[in-house]
Structure 1
Amino acid sequence: MYHIGPMPTAIDAHISRQLQDCETATIGHFRESGFVDPAIHSLLARTRVVGTAVTLSLPPTDGTLLNHAMRLVRPGDVLVIDRQGDDRHACWGGVMTQVAKGLGVAGVIIDGMATDALSIREQEFPVWCRGVSALTTKLAGLGGTMNLPVSVGGLVIHPGDIILADENGVLVVPAQEAGTIASKAVSLQQQEEAILQRVAQGECLPDISGATELIERINSGES
């Protein structure tokens, strides 16, 4: 049986523009939650994607629902694919890449394998996965879910969550938190630029950050 939920609300355009200026690693400086297992990595050396999570859960050998999803996806969507623990079959390859790119899909996050890595890189389509495999899914008709919660990279991801992904990793945040996170990240990146300017002028980084002062205070027994 295939269980297909409604398409989620698309990301707000203003928040999308804000997040496009953010690096996942910047957010990693102030947030602990929402980061996908780093073993799920980008096949492109440099990339950044912001979009709306459209979730799928596929049985190990069955790619039927992923094919059907190409009828439903919208520009700006990010496909987030739970492979139900399978680390052998690739559900995504060159044909899916070309089709999805033509539909305006922003990218795909796979808790499993992809194939046709060269084709994906040549088309510069953003794919995050655990690795590549020559063994692929088939139209097996075994079932699956779309736009229901999935487990990907150690996280429960819901349809409509906001995805920010780059070459450093994948971040998933609830839609209602995305604007606050984006504003904080942009502010922190501006602070980092100011710090680099001070270092270039001869200041010592641990003096600027306070790291040396903190170590000395702790070692002296101060509270």
Structure 2
Amino acid sequence: MSNPGFRVKKTFTRPEKALVESFRSIPVANIGDNMNRIGCMDSRIIPMNSSPLLGSAFTVKVRAGDNLLFHKAIDMAQPGDVVVVDAQAGHSYAITGELMVMWLRQRGVSGLIIDGCIRDTDFIRTLEDFPVYAIGASPNGPLKEGGGEINFPVMCGGIVVNPGDIIVGDADGVVVVNPSDAPEVLQKAQKQNEAEAQVMKAIKQNAWDRAWVDKVLEAKGCEFID
């Protein structure tokens, strides 16, 4: 019998590790640019430490302020997963803190994103090998009444995340890539990286060609007044 809103899917298809790993050196901004600027989570989702994020999505949805299904998720997630929690942007209660984060880290999970709050931020801020993203902090502990889903599509930072999506995060934020789109997105992002390296070289030589700016303005009908 189906029970939407309170169910756990035990298995899903993860992308090949080599495909995920190929995104490691690519800035989130460049990946997002090559997804027509609609693949990045919004600015509410901020890094809580400076550890870079890369892995495949293990999705969790909970009621705002309730972490019972998240407790189940931290026992199920596998090495290389990024646990992505739709906590309905709740600001009143923390979904997790130091102990649960350390359990995920101990089990080889690659990171954690919560569209909701955390606590024990002084400790989490010191972690250099386990990235955590959230919308903020609250000292209030969570409830454990249930409701929620594991490994079904979730909404996090304004983006739909499916189990197995490739997740990349850096200081700018988080981008979500469907594995079926990943090879083409990766190729385009790598080319952008190479092009930007050439622009940086030109800047250092005081030789950056800026003529395109006036050309675009003129093409758009901008009026120039002496």
TM over 0.5: yes
Match of 1:103 in 2: 107
Q: Does 1:64 align with 2:68?
A: yes
* Partner secondary structure for residue 91 of structure 2: coil
State which drifts further: 197-206 or 49-58: 197-206
1:214 aligns with 2:219: no
Where does structure 1 differ by over 6 angstroms across 4 or more consecutive aligned residues? none
Give the TM-score taking structure 2 as reference length: 0.88
Asked if the contact 1:11/1:51 (under 8 Å) is kept, the reply is no
Give the structure-1-normalised TM-score. Answer: 0.90
Structure 1 residues 174 and 219: alpha-carbon distance in aligned structure 2, compared to 1, 3 A threshold: same
- Given that 2:10 and 2:151 are in contact with CA atoms closer than 8 Å, whether structure 1 keeps it comes out as yes
RMSD: 1.9
Corresponding residue to 2:86 among 82, 86, 104:
82
The CA distance in 2 between the partners of 1:55 and 1:41, in whole Å, is 18
Change in CA separation of 1:220 and 1:120 when aligned onto 2, cut-off 3 Å: closer
Corresponding position of 1:180: 184
Deviations 1:40-95 (A, max 9, x none): 10011x33212111111111232122112222111110111111342211111100
C-alpha displacement at 1:178, in angstroms? 1.3
Count of residue correspondences: 217
Is 1:169 matched up with 2:170? no
Give SS of 1:112's match.
Answer: strand
| Equivalent in 158, 169, 175 of residue 154 of structure 1 | 158
Larger relative helix fraction = 1
Unaligned runs of 5+ in 1: none
User: Is the Cα–Cα contact under 8 Å of residues 59 and 150 in structure 2 kept in the other structure?
Assistant: yes
Gaps of 5+ in 2: none
SS of alignment partner, residue 146 of structure 2? coil
Please name the residue that 1:128 is paired with: 133
1:28 partner SS:
helix
Q: 1:37 aligns with which of 21, 39, 42?
A: 42
